[in-house]
Amino acid sequence: MTFATVADVTIFNVRNVKLRPGEQFRDVREVDLEPVELGGQRYLPLPESPEAGLTLTQTSSGLVLELELDVRVVGPCMRCLADAGLSLHVTSREYQATSPGESDELTTPYLVDGRLDLSAWARDAVALALPDKILCREDCAGLCPVCGRDLNREPHEHEGEAADPRWAALAELRDRL
């Protein structure tokens, strides 16, 4: 089985695996991962080259590809900007039909000319496994919208805040009801 790492990209040559329908190939290899950008913030995978389980299953109509890995993603909390980390167990499945025709649904973008781009596939699978918000803790209070201090360390309220004049009409309506 051929694995190549070129410029932080792990490629697997699928043509070296000869399978008949119903047969399966399994292997575990290190896969180079790039950082993921989410909400304008950069999140680093730890380790940068985690071990990934690869399974290829030949069917009568094509090839089923499965990828499984564990990774920790670290970066800033989306509410308070403190360090945050998240451990993920990532599983992904792709399908490549023997004769896909014009259908994009029967092909995987990670397999081109018998070369499977494990790095791109793993990066995308990690990105899809991430939650909408990465937080330092579930009950993160975030930053104060007035002064910008961390409300987790210094919970406070501002006295006598001036109301935005654009909300005056709604305040009058509230007082009448």
CA-based radius of gyration for the chain: 24
Q: Which long-range contacts (CB under 8 A, 24 or more apart) does 16-22 make?
A: 17/56, 19/56, 19/57, 19/58, 19/63, 20/58, 21/58, 21/59, 21/60, 22/58, 22/59
Alpha helix (H) residue ranges in the chain:
118-129, 168-176
Q: 51 lies in which domain range?
A: 3-140
pLDDT-above-90 percentage for the chain: 66
Verify that 85 and 159 share a domain, yes or no: no
Q: What are the phi and psi torsion angles at 132 (to 5°)?
A: -60, -35
25 beta partners: 56
Verify that 131 and 156 share a domain, yes or no: no
The 10s digit of each residue's pLDDT in 110-154 is 999 999 999 999 999 999 999 989 999 999 999 998 889 999 999
Q: How many domains does the chain have?
A: 2
pTM for the model: 0.78
Verify that 110 and 54 share a domain, yes or no: yes
